[in-house]
Amino acid sequence: MADDRHDTIESLLVEGRTYPPSAEFVAGARVTDRAMLEAADADPEGFWAGQAAELLTWFEPWHTVCEWDLPFATWFVGGKLNVSYNCLDRHVEAGAGDKVAYHWEGEPGDTRTITYAQLLDEVSRLANALKALGVEKGDRVNVYLGMVPELPMALLACARIGAVHSVVFGGFSADSLRDRINDAEAKVLITGDGAWRRGSVVPLKETADEALAECPTIEKVLVLQRTAHGVPMTEGRDVWWHDLVPAQSDDCPPEPMDAEDLLYLLYTSGTTAKPKGIMHTTGGYLTQVAFTHKYVFDLRPDDDVYWCAADVGWVTGHSYIVYGPLTNQTTSVMYEGSPDHPDKDRFWSIVAKYGVTILYLAPTAIRTFMKWGTEFPERHDMSSLRLLGSVGEPINPEAWVWYWEVIGGGRCPIVDTWWQTETGAIMLSPLPGLTTLKPGSATFPLPGIGADVVDTDGASVGVPGGGYLVLTRPWPSMLRGIWGDPERYRDTYWARFDGKYFAGDGVKRDDDGYFWLLGRVDDVMLVSGHNISTAEVEHALVGHHAVAEAAVVGKTDATSGQAVAAFVILKAGVEPSEALVGELRDHVGNAIGPIAKPKTILFTEDLPKTRSGKIMRRLLKDVSEDKALGDTTTLADPGVVESIKSRYLAQPGGDDE
């Protein structure tokens, strides 16, 4: 890194430094005062009804805004609409058919530009093809594809005919796919021959075939050709997309759906137990997704080129690659492959090529880019960027400041957005034209959202204070339950604190009332009677100049109950050594207190992560305690944990000292 840049970042990291919105940003921003927050707070239902009417087109109006029979909410009861109509037809009818919906770039470098009119045409054909395969309203359709335009098309085609989609991330194993198909009792699977990832073929069809050997409900499989590497087709069951879809009519009237009809199931990333089929419905979901997309990203639909670099296989992709952006008639970028193919500047070349103005990333990606160094973003002109977003994990201040300076050029507000598969849409986030930012804080609840911090008895802790994050009133895009298991829904989210939704995250509020997320409460360690959050120790570790990324778990310890075990990825060019272990232990001791010093530190090249980039601490805990590994099916790369395990057990002091 150039020395002046290093100095700038160091100076920005001064504790307590805040970032008010610049006058230039405020001048063009959608929200610059508290009027909307206050109105929403005074009358949340009236506020959401206003948004539903303004942002969506309804075939028939609702008669009741919200019915709340704790823990079951319904929104816009009696209203009728169609999601694909809202995402496509109405924009074409309004004359925006030639506007680009997606600039798509394949990993090998092939590109496609898809307008709203073309997308409507393709979605209608696909919807007719699904009907031809026997799909009816209410049926479940599983989708197992890479990041190709046909993936959003598949979601929209289901929505068009009232089928329920259940997307399984294209990197998941045959077992994960099988379990999710069987839980949803899906009738049709949409998949492909393969997907491109890091220059190689991800064998989707072979994996799907393995899963389907044990999926009795699947009748037909629609197969998209992408990699053309030659895959087996099962006679009578498998149909090539190119044989069926183009031959269909491009006229498929959108099915009028009830506001509370099921739109999709999405299985949670499963960092803990058995995956849950989270249920999202139609009217409330689309309202809140469109609202948050418009106001959190301060959208200017005529000028912005928006890129959410997540995968459609997780909720961020559902809400902020497909439904939010299309409802708001946005021009988006979609990229198929990995960020280091053919080189580590791929993302930045895409930003420059399409003139991306809004970029939405996960902290895990940002930390990876930090590890690779500034030379890659510095190769490209990224002056088109005007707003940056972060989602998926707490972002540590070092990564925030790096994102601010190196990617945003010190000019772009960063919206740190807290939400969950279960919440459907962003819940806590800055409003970029209003909120003064603090690096590492998701700041405040958005308009219409009730959030609080409570202690173990469910009592509000006030400001400042720390405890459990809860949501205090229903919101339109909230999950409607867990598929097939209403009791588990009640137990998981509503049983812990009476009348409140428990998010599972720990949180602190500072003197100014800002929310600071501390990670999952399952990840809190108890060391000699002291609660220490894994996120705090991880933040301390990545605050050391040698460390790129860190994961921390509490391992069972005979003397202290639990001991802190750390897994550390060093920055490029830093050599691991015993001296560095000592230095890092002292560094944590100084930052938090001697009690938080890791007992063991293992240097590693990689960490076990889910496909959405979340560290699977549960598996690291198994490693640190030398236990059989729990469910590894949701890992991005199952090899990583095995290799950490063998090295962990080999290291001096890796066992109990």
Kindly tell me which residue out of 417, 443, 600, 604 binds ligand 6R9, with binding defined by CB under 6 A.
417
Asked if 268 touches ligand 6R9 (CB under 6 A), the answer is yes
Among 520, 539, 617, 621, binds ligand 6R9 (CB under 6 A): 520
Closest approach of Cβ 592 to ligand 6R9, in Å? 19
Helix, strand, coil share (%) of the chain residues, nearest 5:
35, 25, 40
Residue ranges in 571-616 assigned as alpha helix (H):
578-591
* Stretch 289-328: interaction string toward ligand 6R9, x if CB under 6 A: -------------------------xxx------------
Q: Which of 139, 505, 536, 557 binds ligand 6R9 (CB under 6 A)?
A: 505
**Which residue from 222, 286, 437, 503 is in contact with ligand 6R9, where contact means CB under 6 A?**
503
**Given 145, 163, 221, 517, the residue binding ligand 6R9 (CB under 6 A):** 517
Site string for ligand 6R9, 430-469 (x = CB under 6 A): ------------x---------------------------
Q: Which is nearer to ligand 6R9, 370 or 615 (CB)?
A: 615
**Under the criterion CB under 6 A, does residue 504 sit at the interface with ligand 6R9?**
yes
**Residue numbers 112-171 binding ligand 6R9 by CB under 6 A:** none
Indicate whether 270 belongs to the interface with ligand 6R9 (CB under 6 A): no
Joined together, the tokens standing for residue 147 give 């990041």
Q: Which pair of tokens denotes residue 463?
A: 């400001």
Stretch that binds ligand 6R9, among 134-142, 192-200, 391-399, 592-600 (CB under 6 A): 391-399
Q: Whose CA is closest to 322, among 612, 87, 613?
A: 87
Rounded Cα distance between 386 and 382, Å, is: 9
| CA distances from residue 533 to 100, 309, 508, 599, 612 in whole angstroms, order as listed | 45, 29, 11, 15, 21
Rounded CA-CA distance 331/307 in Å is 9
Rule CB under 6 A: is residue 398 a binding residue for ligand 6R9?
Answer: no
Bin 528: left if φ > 0, else alpha if -120 < ψ < 50, else beta.
left
Q: How far, in Å, CA of 367 to CA of 390, rounded? A: 12
Q: Could you say whether residue 421 binds ligand 6R9 (CB under 6 A)?
A: yes
The verdict on whether omega for the bond into residue 464 sits within 30 degrees of 0, i.e. cis, is: yes
Q: DSSP alpha helices (H): ranges in 133-203?
A: 150-161, 174-184
**Dihedral of alpha carbons 566, 568, 574, 576, sign:** positive
Interaction between residue 536 and ligand 6R9 (CB under 6 A): no
Using the rule CB under 6 A, which residue among 179, 193, 416, 549 binds ligand 6R9? 416
> Count residues contacting ligand 6R9 (CB under 6 A)?
22
Counting contacts by CB under 6 A, is residue 612 touching ligand 6R9? yes
Residue nearer to ligand 6R9 on the CB measure, 260 or 505: 505
Of residues 476, 601, 478, the one with CA closest to residue 538: 601
Give burial (CB, 10 Å; 0-12/13-18/19+) of 95: exposed
Identity of the residue, 394 or 481, whose beta carbon is nearer to ligand 6R9 in the bound complex:
394
Contact positions with ligand 6R9 (CB under 6 A) in 8-27: none
**Contacts by 116-120 with C-beta closer than 8 Å and gap 24+?**
116/88, 116/91, 116/92, 116/329, 117/92, 119/88, 119/152, 119/153, 119/156, 119/326, 120/88, 120/89, 120/92
- Residue in this structure with the two tokens 């400001």, named with its chain if needed: 463
29-37, 116-124, 132-140, 390-398 -> range binding ligand 6R9 (CB under 6 A): 390-398
Q: Which of 19, 58, 419, 497 binds ligand 6R9 (CB under 6 A)?
A: 419
Residue window 338-377: x/- pattern of binding to ligand 6R9, with contact defined by CB under 6 A: ----------------------------------------
Among the residue ranges 147-155, 413-421, 556-564, 585-593, the one whose residues contact ligand 6R9 (CB under 6 A) = 413-421
620, containing H or E segment? helix 617-624
Could you say which of 284, 394, 447, 598 contacts ligand 6R9 (CB under 6 A)?
A: 394
DSSP 636: S
Report residue 487 as tokens. Answer: 């009791």
Cα–Cα distance, 121 to 518 (Å, whole number): 45
- 393 contacts ligand 6R9 (rule: CB under 6 A): yes
Q: How far is the CB of 166 from ligand 6R9 (least distance, A)?
A: 15
**Taking the CA of residue 329 as centre, how many other CA atoms within 13 Å lie in the half-sphere pointing to its CB?**
21
Between 126 and 310, CB nearer to ligand 6R9: 310
475 binds ligand 6R9 (CB under 6 A): no
> Of 355, 430, 356, 357, whose CA–CA distance to 391 is shortest?
430
Q: Does 397 bind ligand 6R9 (CB under 6 A)?
A: no
Does 404 contact ligand 6R9 by CB under 6 A?
A: no
Binding region for ligand 6R9 (CB under 6 A): 268-269, 314-316, 391-394, 416-421, 442, 503-505, 517, 520, 612
